Amino acid sequence: MSTYQAKDIQVLEGLEPVRKRPGMYIGSTSSTGLHHLVWEILDNSVDEALNGHCNHIEITIHSEDEITIKDNGRGIPVDTFRKTKKSAMEILFTTLHSGGKFQEGNYKVSGGLHGVGMAVVCALSKSLTATSRRDGFEWTQSYSCGKAEGKLKKGKATRNRGTEITFRPDPKIFPKITWNVKAILEQAESKAFLNKGLKITVRENKNTHVFQYPEGIKDFIRKITPANASLTPEPMYVEKEDKELRLEVAFLWTSKTDTVIHSYANAIKTID
């Protein structure tokens, strides 16, 4: 007869739960889960754009299963976190439920896994290097499987600002690591449509793809509507913003009889 007692209970520390049960955080360790890592870092950059701090995001797909996402936002905080001797950057990458999106004022709107995304990506990466450009300098720290490899390093002086993250998923977690370029391009394009004026550059091999749409979802609806099906020359468009909400709606009548609705909240597709 089996017993179930206190000695059978495990308490997982730090990012151990993520590595032990990655599917709880990213859905699976298949290609879908693998690319969820990219979406989490990308969504952080998009959050900077949503809040008016960033207008350019760059994605570079390297060989050897490595990818870099860079933006010109505010950069990750690097000052010492409260009573610890660790930097805020290290806390964000190595501690679940840490982040600046819980407190009002830092972000008016945001997507992704609040306080979880960056730490999960770090935990499931064989190697991850984060660079924050802020306060007049470059600050860099490297991690492996959710643990810091050395302390935060202060680099050269710079007038630029932003965040750059390069990571390589852990082959012990993901049985097959192959970037789906088509999926990444589609995701980049959709984020550019949903944030009018935001420029997203994707580099893969020797190819460079640039997505930027001055009219945002109006450009989006033009693309998904066949040219000969539209019954009006321009999409109807409504935009409204107050202290708590920003709303954008574009719609177009066509000669087709079916209705197609695409809905997004904070640049994240809402399935229902």
Q: What are phi and psi of 23, to 5 degrees?
A: -60, -25
User: What's the rounded Cα separation, in Å, for the pair 179 and 66?
Assistant: 9
- For the chain, state the CA radius of gyration: 21
The three state secondary structure string of 5-33 is: CHHHCCCCCCCHHHHHCCHHHHCCCCHHH
CB atoms within 10 A of CB 237: 15
pLDDT in tens, the chain (272 residues): 566 444 544 444 567 888 888 888 898 999 999 999 999 999 999 999 988 899 999 999 998 799 999 999 999 999 887 767 788 899 889 988 654 443 444 444 544 544 468 999 999 999 999 999 999 999 999 999 999 999 999 999 999 999 999 999 999 999 999 999 999 999 999 999 999 999 999 999 999 999 999 999 999 998 988 777 888 888 999 999 888 788 999 998 888 888 888 898 888 888 77
Q: pTM of the prediction?
A: 0.85
Dihedral (CA of 123, 98, 11, 33) sign: negative
Write down all domains in the chain, each with its CATH number in brackets: 16-211 (3.30.565.10), 217-269 (no CATH)
Residue 159, phi then psi, degrees to nearest 5: -95, -10
The beta strand positions in the chain, using DSSP E, are: 56-61, 67-71, 125-134, 137-144, 147-148, 153-157, 162-169, 199-204, 207-211, 236-241, 246-251, 264-265, 268-269
Q: What is the rounded CA–CA span in Å between residue 147 and residue 90? A: 9
